[in-house]
Amino acid sequence: MDLKKLISVARGEIPADLLLKNARIVNTFIGEIEQADVAVYGDKIAGVGDYDKAKEIIDLQGRFLAPGLINGHTHIESSMLHPARYAQAVVPRGTLAVVTDLHEIANVCGSEGIKFVTDLARKLPLDMLFMAPSCVPATHLETSGAQISSNEVKRILAHPKIIGLGEMMNFPGVISGDEEVLKKISASKGKIIDGHAPGLTGKELNAYLSAGILSDHESTTLEEGKEKLRRGMHLMIREGSSEKNLDALLPLVTDDTYKRCFFVVDDRSCSDLLWEGDIDAVVRKAIDRGLEPVRAIQMATINAAEYFRLYDRGGIGPGYIANLITITDLAELEIDMVFYRGKLVARQGKPLFSPPPLTLELRDTVQIKSPTAKSLKIPLPRWEGLGEGETSDEAYPVIEIVPGQIVTRKVVEKAKVIDETMMPDVERDILKLVVVERHKASGNIGVGLVKGFGLKKGALASSVAHDSHNIIAVGTNDFDILKAIEEINRLQGGLVVCANLEILASLPLPIAGLLSPEPLEVVVSQHEIVERTAASLGNLPPAPFALLSFLALPVIPEIRLTDLGLVDVNEFKLLK
């Protein structure tokens, strides 16, 4: 960038590289629409106003021009796409910057996984900005494939594309003053520190925030979001594939609060990216729910940019990076042209760029000691603390699914028992849940019961199980569960549907057991086949594999299952 020439273009003395004439600019600085031309030199906006000289002129004829959208919190691994394929999916949707915490791939592959993505990011027409994973592993209550210490966090934060510390999921560790957790926070001093604080209130919330944590994307109720705003947090309003909080939280967005709020997706499936979009889908839904379109765009652009201190993004102004989108219908957010750093990279929903050569890195990451029928048995327990009056040997804590949410309830049920062994009870929709450690072939297997999954026969299994990504399976019987796990091992990662000892459908994910190298449309086709096949086995909730993936995450209340056993998240301990 020749700064002197940029200034000359701004003054109208020499031609711009690109001139976008007759635009209706979505001015995110002051929340209005203005009519003007935009002159671009190199990768920067030189000027906004009345210009007529350029090497290339595009007359927008009154179409809207907005800054590129910013997805302020996502895990790109949730798309199950290779990072280059992910860029091809989201850039045509207007997403030109993503802030991603790579703790999914880092929990499998450690720093090698982070390097894999950050190296690729330099070759893509998408600003990938990264948060250093704060929780690898997420907790001590599970087995992950790697560990990232506070010293490693400090080293990672030196990378120019690493702009802060990723969501601090170990909120009990923060509140209790865990030494290693606090060292990671201290190593991030002066950087953005994202939060993850489901259900925290009162003095516990104060304690969490006093450590310097700035944001939260886990609010599910109006009251929770309001308290966090009052205590100074930035509210990330999440609308993902399985975590949908927009309707509950949108009433919090007012003239007084909107600058403290922005949209995120957290986790979004490949199918949703193809059919609905990325952060654009959240903006579109917010507008449909009554939010004024310019404000909705502000919450997907400049609000996120200012929170992450990306002061050259999120608006259309002199000196800003020329990440721009044209919109034919503002209320419907119909995106036509997408410019990345002044270059046209997508049009009418299609990418105009090809991915770099895809490498064969991070393969063969599934290493298990194969489970047996005996290892899946649940013997009659003598659980402590089941509650007053719950003294039966058959009383058992069950993970109950909450429809539309990733939080669960801890309920105690009288289990079906055969030969001193607890069994699935399909009539009552109580199924077996299994987590198999897949990084070190340790033989660790967690076994429990889950209510509300809806399977009537067969089993589902997946190597996508947040955040340690051990193999997780749910089923009506041990035989299908074992067969599905065996297929995951053979594929070296993926999603599998099994019934009557037959593999009915699968989606291979050979990269870290999380990602596919195939194009978006191919992965979506495979994904939709496994989802439809799974749905045919009963009355399953929407996105069953996404839901299954969260049942092993021991930082979301109330109860989870890891390879080490059942976890009471509220007490932050294994059930004994």
139-156 confidence digits (pLDDT tens): 889 999 999 999 999 999
Has residue 321 got a pLDDT over 60?
yes
- Rounded to an integer, the average pLDDT of 294-305 is 98
What is the b/e burial string over 264-275, where b = at least 16 CB atoms within 10 angstroms of the residue's CB?
bbbbbbbbbbbe
Distance CA 208, CA 203 (A): 9
Residue of 35, 91, 29, 109 lying closest to 65 (CA atoms): 35
pLDDT in tens, 540-549: 998 899 899 9
Q: What is the pLDDT of residue 555?
A: 86
What is the identity of the amino acid at 270?
A: C
The pTM of this model reads: 0.90
Q: What is the pLDDT of residue 391?
A: 40
- Are 489 and 370 in contact by the 8 Å Cβ rule? The answer is yes
Q: What is the pLDDT of residue 380?
A: 78
- What the chain holds in terms of domains, given with CATH numbers, is 68-311 (3.20.20.140), 374-574 (no CATH)
DSSP 123-173: TSSSEEEEEE-S-SSS-SSS--S----HHHHHHHTTSTTEEEEEEE--HHH
Distance CA 141, CA 278 (A): 32
- Rounded to an integer, the average pLDDT of 189-195 is 95
What does the block give as tokens for 430? Answer: 């109580």
User: What average pLDDT does the chain have?
Assistant: 94
- The conformational region for residue 381 under phi > 0 = left, psi -120 to 50 = alpha, else beta, is beta
Q: What is the pLDDT of residue 381?
A: 67
Has residue 536 got a pLDDT over 70?
yes
Q: Going by C-beta distance under 8 Å and a sequence separation of 6 or more, which residues neighbour residue 380?
A: 393, 394, 417, 420, 421, 422
Residue of 376, 383, 405, 411 lying closest to 559 (CA atoms): 411
Has residue 118 got a pLDDT over 70?
yes
Least confident span in 355-364, 381-390, 457-466, 554-563: 381-390
pLDDT in tens, 218-243: 999 999 999 999 999 999 999 998 78
Has residue 301 got a pLDDT over 90?
yes
10 Å CB burial of residue 409 (0-12, 13-18, 19+) is middle
Distance CA 337, CA 63 (A): 11
Q: What is the pLDDT of residue 393?
A: 53
Query: pLDDT class for 178, splitting at 50, 70, 90?
Result: very high
User: What percent of the chain clears pLDDT 70, i.e. is strictly above it?
Assistant: 97
pLDDT in tens, 49-58: 999 999 999 9
Q: What is the pLDDT of residue 384?
A: 53
List the end-to-end C-alpha distance of the chain, in Å, as a whole number: 62
Q: What is the pLDDT of residue 182?
A: 96
- Are 491 and 477 in contact by the 8 Å Cβ rule? The answer is no
Distance CA 397, CA 88 (A): 44
- Rounded to an integer, the average pLDDT of 189-203 is 94
Across the chain, how many H-helices and E-strands are there? 17, 31
Least confident span in 113-117, 321-325, 391-395: 391-395
pLDDT in tens, 423-466: 999 999 999 999 999 999 999 999 999 999 999 999 999 999 99
DSSP annotation of 455 reads B
Q: What is the pLDDT of residue 385?
A: 53
DSSP annotation of 449 reads E
DSSP element (H, E) containing 283: helix 279-288
Q: What is the pLDDT of residue 389?
A: 43
Separation of CA 209 from chain center: 22
Strands 95-101 and 127-132: parallel
Higher per-residue pLDDT: 395 or 551:
551
- Are 327 and 338 in contact by the 8 Å Cβ rule? The answer is no
Has residue 532 got a pLDDT over 90?
yes
Distance CA 505, CA 129 (A): 35
Angle at alpha carbon of residue 316, lines to 276 and 63, rounded to 5°: 60
Distance CA 468, CA 498 (A): 23
pLDDT in tens, 391-425: 445 688 999 999 878 889 999 998 888 888 889 99
What does the block give as tokens for 36? Answer: 């003007």
Least confident span in 31-35, 62-66, 571-575: 571-575
Separation of CA 461 from chain center: 20
Strands 334-340 and 343-347: antiparallel
Distance CA 226, CA 229 (A): 5
Strands 192-195 and 162-168: parallel
Has residue 382 got a pLDDT over 60?
no
Q: What is the pLDDT of residue 419?
A: 83
Higher per-residue pLDDT: 25 or 103:
25
- Rounded to an integer, the average pLDDT of 192-216 is 96
Has residue 188 got a pLDDT over 80?
yes
10 Å CB burial of residue 133 (0-12, 13-18, 19+) is buried
Query: pLDDT class for 467, splitting at 50, 70, 90?
Result: confident
